[in-house]
Structure 1
Amino acid sequence: MSRVWPAVIMGLVVVLVSCASSGNPTPPSPGTTTALTGPVVVHTDVDLDDAMAIMMMLRADVNVIAIAVAGNGVARPKYGVPNAQGLVALAEAEDIPISYGADRSLLPSGEFPKAWRDLSTDLGGVSIPDATKPPDSRSAAALISDSISGSNEPVTVVGLAPATDLAIALRDDPEIVDNINAIFLTQSGRVNSPDAPKLPVSQLINWNTYIDALATAIIVESGANVTFVSSNADRSDPIKKMPIRELQQVGNPYAEFVANEATALRNAGRAFFWDPTTTAVAMQPSVCTDMVRKPTRVVLRGGNRFGLRVVEPGWREVDICLEADFEQFQKVMLDSLSE
C-alpha cells in the first residue's frame, strides 16, 4: 500500500487515539518545534478560546498575514467571519485579510455540540467592535495558498479548527509545502457526542480530526513539519483555571477581553483552553514540557479506531506535545497581552 499523501486523498485515513508518553517529562529537543517567527497564517473556527489565542498573537510581535475562518467548526459560518473581523478591529490590526472557509468537510462525520456553537455566536456575550472592512473575496483555502506561495519567507500555520481549508490548499497546490516553516494543530478532547465513535475512556479522539479526519490525514502526509498539541497538554488544573485575575490587572482592553472570554468559558462549564495552549507552544516551544516525535497515520475507517493514532515505523512522523507548563504558559499569555 502506498504511503504517500495522494493515496490518502483516495481514502486511506485516520484514527485519533491519545499518545501516551512514558517516563519523566522531557523538554522539547532543539529543532523539534519552531518558535513563532516570520509570517503566520491562522486557521480558526473562532470559538471563545480561539478568540483568546488570536488576541495573544495579534497583540504580540507575531506577523499574522491572513486569518482563514473554517466554515465547519464551532462558529457557524455567518458568525465566524464577522467575529474575526471584530477581533482584528479590537486589536488594531484591520489590514489582515479574513475569508470564509468551506462549510462541508472532506470526510463529513458530524458537527460540534450545539451548545458550543450557540455560545460562539456572540463570543459568549463579550463585546467587540464592528467590522471596519469587508471580508476577503477569496475562499479560505485560496487565501491560505496565496498567502503561503506569495510570501518571501517560510510561513508558519497555526491551526485551531478542523483542518479542511488547509488540506484543500495543500491538495490543490502541494508545492506550497516547500514554503511552510511549520504547522501547529490543536488536538482537542475526547468526543462524547451521541453520533461520535464509542471509545474507551483511556482513548482521546480529537474533535478537529473527528470533524474532518481526511483533512488531518492530508496534512500529516503532506511532508510538512507538523506539531500536534494534544488535549493532555492543558489538563493541569492551573491552566484550566486560567490567570483571570492577572489578566484583569494588566489594565488594557486586550487582556480584559481575554479575561472575559475565559470567564465566559468557565461559566459555561467549558474549563479548557486548548487553542491558547497550542498558540503558546507555537510562540514559545519551552511551554511544552513533554514533546515526543512519533510515526503517525490517520485512519478514515475502522469504527472505534476513527481518529489519530501513533503507529508502527514507516509512516510520517509528527511532533506531539503531551504536557504544558502553566507558569510558562501564563508568562507567554501575559507578556503577549501587555504589549
Structure 2
Amino acid sequence: MARAIYFDHDGALDDLLSLTLLTRYRGVSLKGVTVTPADCLIEPAVSVTRKILDLAGAQHVPVAAGTLAGPNPFPLEWRVDALRADALPVLNQRAENTARLSPLPAHLQLAEWLSTAPEPVTLLMIGPLTNLAWCLREHPEVESKIAELVFMGGAIDVAGNVDRPGHDGSAEWNVYWDPAAARRVFESEIPITLFPLDATDQVPITPEFARSFGRHYGSPLSDLAGSLLAMTFGCFETTGFSYCCWDSLTTSYLAEPDLCEFEDVRCVVLTEGVSQGRTVRADSGRLVKCAKKVDAQRFYRHCLDVLAESTGTPAFSTQ
C-alpha cells in the first residue's frame, strides 16, 4: 500500500523542487498540500504550487493557503522567488489552474485532514511548523494520527543561517520563523525524523548539478527543475552562504531513506533571547532521528534520474 503523505512547504525555490520530486515518487500517495506564508509571498506560492500539480498530472491533490504568521519574518528579497517561479513559461502553458484549491486556511484544512485520516499518516514539513503546532494546541487528538513527521529544520552541531540584528546566528530559519511552534511540536510524542543544516548543507546546488538537467531539455518536469535550480544562482554573492538542497534532500528520504546516515539526538528548541530558534543538544531533550551524513553524489543522481524520466503522468499512487 502507498504511504499517505501530507506536505507543508513555504514556497521557496527548493520547496518547489521538492514538490516536483514528490509527484514522481512511486509508493507515495500525496493527499494534500498546505503552504505556509514564510519564505514566500503566499498568493504566488499557492499559484505556482497548483501549476506544478497541473504539470505533473496531479490536479486531484488539494492545496490550502496558510494564514498564520510567525514572529520573525523572512527577508522580503527571498520571499519574491515564488513570484518569479510562478511566471516560468513551462508552468504557463494553460490558461488557468485546474488543481484543487481548498476553501479552508491551511491550519484548519490540516486539522480536518488529520482528524478524518483512516490511519496514521506521514507529514513532510519543509517550512516552519506553525500549522502543525496550531493543530496540536487546538485539536490534540490529531497527534495520534501522525505516524512520522519528516522535518527540515534546525542546526545541531553547526552554525545556523539566521543573520538578523540582535541574534547570535545559531538558529536555522524554519525554526527561527516561529520558535514557539517548533517547541510545541518537539514537546509532542510524534516520531520526528529531522534534517538539520548539519546534513542539508552537504548538498549545495552546484553549477554541474543545475546544468545537468539541460541534457534532458524537453521533458517538462526536468525543464522546471533546471529552471528552479538556475534561479538559485547568485545566492552566495548576495547573502554570503550557498543555496543548498535543504528541502529536496529532506523530501528524497521518502523515496531513498538510505541516502543519509542518522543519529539519535536529544534536543530542545530555545524560544527566547539572542539564540531564539536554536536547536540545542540536551540530555533531557526530545529524542529525534537526525540526519548526519549524506551521500551527496547519489542524491544528485537521484534527482536527475527521477525528473529526467518524467512525462507529465503521475508516478505516485493515487490510492
Q: Tell me the number of residue pairs that the alignment of Structure 1 and Structure 2 aligns.
A: 294
Superposed CA offset, 1:120-164 (max 9, x none): 222285331342245201121122222223223321111111111
Superposed CA offset, 1:149-190 (max 9, x none): 322332111111111111111222222221212111112672
Output the CA distance in 2 between the equivalents of 1:164 and 1:287.
28
Match of residue 137 from structure 1: 103
Match of residue 181 from structure 1: 147
Q: Where do 4+ consecutive residues of structure 1 move more than 6 Å?
A: none
TM-score relative to the length of structure 1: 0.80
Q: Gaps (5+ residues) in structure 1?
A: 1-35
Match of residue 226 from structure 2: 259
Q: Within 5 Å, which residues of 2 pair with 1:1-339?
A: 38-61=3-26, 62-71=28-37, 73-105=38-70, 108=71, 110-123=72-85, 126-127=88-89, 128-129=91-92, 130-133=96-99, 135-187=101-153, 190-195=160-165, 197-199=167-169, 204-236=170-202, 240-241=206-207, 243-251=209-217, 252-269=219-236, 271-289=243-261, 291-304=262-275, 306-312=277-283, 314-337=284-307, 338-339=309-310
Output the CA distance in 1 between the equivalents of 2:268 and 2:154.
17
What letter matches 1:83 in structure 2? V
Match of residue 313 from structure 2: none
Deviation at 1:91, TM superposition (A): 1.0
Superposed CA offset, 1:20-78 (max 9, x none): xxxxxxxxxxxxxxxx951100001111110000000012222110100102x111122
Say what the alpha-carbon RMSD is for the aligned residues.
2.3
In structure 2, do the counterparts of structure 1 residues 135 and 195 end up closer, same or farther at CA, with 3 Å as the change threshold?
Answer: farther
Deviation at 1:266, TM superposition (A): 1.9
Percent identity, please. 21
Q: Which moved more, 1:232-241 or 1:140-149?
A: 232-241
Superposed CA offset, 1:180-208 (max 9, x none): 12111112672343335124xxxx41101
3-state SS of 1:46 partner: coil
Q: Is the 8 A contact 1:295 1:317 kept in 2?
A: yes
3-state SS of 2:299 partner: helix
Output the CA distance in 2 between the equivalents of 1:262 and 1:177.
35
Match of residue 3 from structure 1: none
Deviation at 1:112, TM superposition (A): 1.0
Higher relative contact order, chain-length normalized (CA < 8 Å, sep 6+) = 1
